[in-house]
Amino acid sequence: MLWPLYGVVMPTIFTRIIDGEIPGTFIWRDDLCVAFMSINPMSFGHALVVPIKEVDHWVDLEPDLARHLFEVAHRISIAQQAAFSPERVGLIIAGYEVPHTHIHVLPTNEMSDLSFSNAASSVDREDLERSADAIHNELVRQGEDTGVTR
């Protein structure tokens, strides 16, 4: 869904990242979705799984697309677990930040790590690349075709 701004319909920031208009640090890309590192991470390794098709509210996703997003999030969480050894990998679907469905997938060590109040206001590009490389390398090691070259 495109959102209106002063009567003009504009793509979401996520669509602009997917289309390459804005840089993104990708770890997954297929015909239905992408995954890239959050620029406001709540923990090291915080990734977002985003459908290519703009759908504002996740409950409006077609069932097959919803299943696919969760399958990709699951694969990424396994890679995060192997790469970072957190206590758990958490998932959040909030949907208030950007009107484009996205699943937050993040390594956590305690419940409080799942708070948006922990989100960094900025992130070092080197940290994004290091976390993306660690996740991507683990996905490849596990035999996944990520559709991304890093």
Domains and CATH numbers, the chain: 3-141 (3.30.428.10)
pLDDT digits (tens, 9 = 90+) for 4-47: 555 556 799 999 999 999 999 999 999 999 999 999 999 999 99
Extract the tokens encoding 137. 């390398």
Extract the tokens encoding 120. 């960094």
How far apart CA 56 and CA 122 sit, in angstroms, is 25
What residues form DSSP beta bridges with 145? none
pLDDT digits (tens, 9 = 90+) for 86-143: 999 999 999 888 999 999 999 999 999 999 999 999 899 999 999 999 999 999 999 9
Please tell me the pTM assigned to this model. 0.92
Q: Quick one: pLDDT at residue 8?
A: 55
Identify the helix (H) or strand (E) that includes residue 61.
none
